Amino acid sequence: MDFDTADWITPWPNPKSDLRAVGDDSMVAYPTWRRSPEDPWFGYVEGYRLAAQAIVDQARTCGLNHDSLIFPFLMCWRHYVELRLKSLINLVQRGTGVEINVPSTHNLAKLWEKAACMVDEVGAFDDDKSTQHVRRLILQLHALDPTAQEARYPITTKGLPTFDKVDRLDMRTIHEAMDGVANYLTGTDVGLTEHFRFRQELAEEYRYDW
């Protein structure tokens, strides 16, 4: 059978297949547009959150494939949290004028402790109750996937089976909880940005007064 000319319902590789080809403008993405010098993290952070939303929407719509969708779903939420915490660390470092040194670790527990400590030192927020809930949920997510391998592979780099002690996971409750975490972290980002902007404007005003 000629695979190039057959009338296939399922997409099949052909001479016109090209990852760099541009078609309908409605589906064209511009990766650098969301990667501005002021906030190069934004597109990545929001992208993984939107991907988690798209996956859970698909699970709700079709009512099937939860056992398969749970893996990319968890991976998207986990990577979102990792990126968001690293972006907050970067934001505080830029805002306070210290050397930019974002941790390379994938350990969510360590990233949370560092980001929370740095944000607390800025002194721009006072919401201990919400912070405690966010910390608890991030540590739960870390416990589910401590090395960023559980949601991506059936075995770890040590040859151990992943999710071997997890019986059931509810995508709906996970998404609702993580959506709240995301709202908190987004609010923290916005609050820090405004805090540092105000502080810079104040410094410039007093400098010109002299």
DSSP string covering 50-105: HHHHHHHHHHHHH---HHHHHHHHHHHHHHHHHHHHHHHHHHHHHHHTPPP-----
Residue 110 has pLDDT above 80, yes or no: yes
pLDDT for the residue 123 = 82
pLDDT for the residue 37 = 73
What residues make up the domain containing 107?
45-209
Q: Could you tell me if 138 and 77 are in contact, meaning their C-beta atoms sit under 8 angstroms apart?
A: no
Residue 96 lies in a domain: yes
Let me know if 33 is exposed, middle or buried by CB neighbors in 10 A (0-12, 13-18, 19+).
exposed
Residue 4 has pLDDT above 60, yes or no: no
pLDDT for the residue 198 = 87
Task: State the average pLDDT for the chain.
Answer: 91
Residue 132 lies in a domain: yes
Give the span between the Cα atoms of 173 and 193, in whole angstroms: 30
Residue 39 lies in a domain: no
Residue 3 has pLDDT above 70, yes or no: no
Q: How many CA atoms lie within 13 A of 172 on its CB side?
A: 3
Say what percent of the chain tops pLDDT 70. Answer: 93
Residue 186 lies in a domain: yes
Residue 11 lies in a domain: no
pLDDT for the residue 101 = 94
Residue 46 has pLDDT above 70, yes or no: yes
- Give φ, ψ of 161 to 5 degrees: -70, 140
Residue 23 lies in a domain: no
Neighbouring C-beta atoms of residue 177, cutoff 10 Å: 18
Q: How many domains does the chain have?
A: 1
Residue 184 has pLDDT above 60, yes or no: yes
Residue 58 lies in a domain: yes
Residue 9 lies in a domain: no
Residue 63 has pLDDT above 60, yes or no: yes
Give the span between the Cα atoms of 132 and 67, in whole angstroms: 31
